[in-house]
Structure 1
Amino acid sequence: MTLHANASCPCVAEALACLQATKLGILMGIRSITLMGDLKTIIKKCQAADMDKSIVGAIIRDIQSCKSQFQEIIFWFIQRSENIQAHKLAKEALVKGEKMYLVRDVPICNEVALEEEWPRNLD
């Protein structure tokens, strides 16, 4: 989670998140990466090879320039309903005003929230 104070709209915030994830993958030496997002416009722009001239064009170009650092990079659109955990983490970052990286881990407070959302079968 990274706070971006100058994100003027959700498209910019999603593009910045994608760029941040791409750069993190490079720093970690990951060769194959799948980036998932719930804003179809940004995912399509990241998948496209042509030049983007929209408000997020510069960010998309930065993402495109990072592609060569990976053997495989996949941009995958997921529905917002499938992305609940990411939104909870983003809201938590906004409330706390701090940034944090999660690698194969979820904060305990969010695990509890997930258990509340997905009740266990009481057979």
Structure 2
Amino acid sequence: MSGSEIAKKISAYTTELAISKVRTLTLHSSGNLQQLYKRGWTSIHFDVAYDRLGFRSASGIIARNENREILASQVVTHSNIADPFTVEAYAGLQAIKLGIRLGVNKLSVFGDSKTVIKKCQSLFTDKSVIGAIITDIQSLKKGFQEIEFIFVHKEHNFYAHTIAKESLRGGESFYLEKEIPEAVRRTVENRWPYPPD
């Protein structure tokens, strides 16, 4: 391990210690997603599909337990959305609401929008365009014993993105317990015979 790598690890560790003194909220970015599935935690992935011409969007959300079994999948469609950045924030809000609906105590929220994940993690008032949505997320965090927001790359968020994309085509919202729609299952199986880690 080089000196710069050691310095980065020490810096990341001290930052995490400082944050943990305030509240148990951490931002992870890891290539090995499987290590982030923790015992007793529910994991919710969110992503969006956005139609620029019609100003429509769909937020795709999938919840799994620590054994990676599907607890629920959901799509919320939106209209009159000006930009995809706002849609990502709405999707994060919907992910938190799904965690509340499922009645979980410990929640890991995974998203591929680094900016939205950082804003959800923050303890400060957000004054950006999506500030009102982030404020709603901040207020709902109190409903969990522990909660963390984790950035993942697109390829680790494929299920949530596929759910959103397929639902945007059909223009329908849905909520399913312990399953995903058959059209999404076929799309995923065609791309990956085995679920990605």
Give the shorter-chain TM-score range: 0.7 to 0.9
Displacement of 1:117 in angstroms is: 1.2
Separation (CA, whole Å) in 1 of partners of 2:167 and 2:100? 23
1:28 is aligned to 2:102 = yes
- The whole-number CA distance in structure 1 between the counterparts of 2:178 and 2:193 is 23
Structure of greater Rg: 2
Q: Distance in 2 between matches of 1:27 and 1:58?
A: 21
**1:60 CA displacement:** 0.3
Bigger shift: residues 29-38 or 51-60: 29-38
TM-score (norm 2): 0.57
Runs of 4+ more than 3 Å apart: none
Once the two structures are superposed, residues 24-83 of structure 1 have per-residue CA deviations (whole angstroms, 9 ceiling, x without a partner) of 222332211111111000000000101110000010010000111000111111111221
Structure ranking higher on relative contact order (CA contacts 8 Å, 6+ apart): 1
Aligned to 2:153: 79
Deviates more, 1:47-56 or 1:28-37: 28-37
Q: Distance in 2 between matches of 1:20 and 1:118?
A: 27
Distance 1:119 1:70, change over 3 A: closer
Alignment length (residue pairs): 120
Q: Aligned to 1:35, what secondary structure does the other structure show?
A: strand
Is it true that 1:15 corresponds to 2:89 in the alignment?
yes
Task: Provide TM-score, normalisation by structure 1.
Answer: 0.88
Counterpart of 2:165 in structure 1 is 91
Quick one: percent identity of the two aligned structures? 47
Q: Specify which structure has the higher proportion of strand.
A: 2
User: Which amino acid is 1:65 matched to?
Assistant: S
Higher helix share: 1
2:118 aligned partner: 44
Which segments of 5 or more consecutive residues in structure 1 lack a partner in the other structure? Answer: none
| Structure 2: gaps (5+ residues) | 1-74
- Cα distance, 1:119 vs. partner? 4.7
Counterparts of 2:140 and 2:193, CA distance in 1:
41
Instruction: Tell whether the 8 Å contact from 2:120 to 2:149 is kept in structure 1 after alignment.
Output: yes
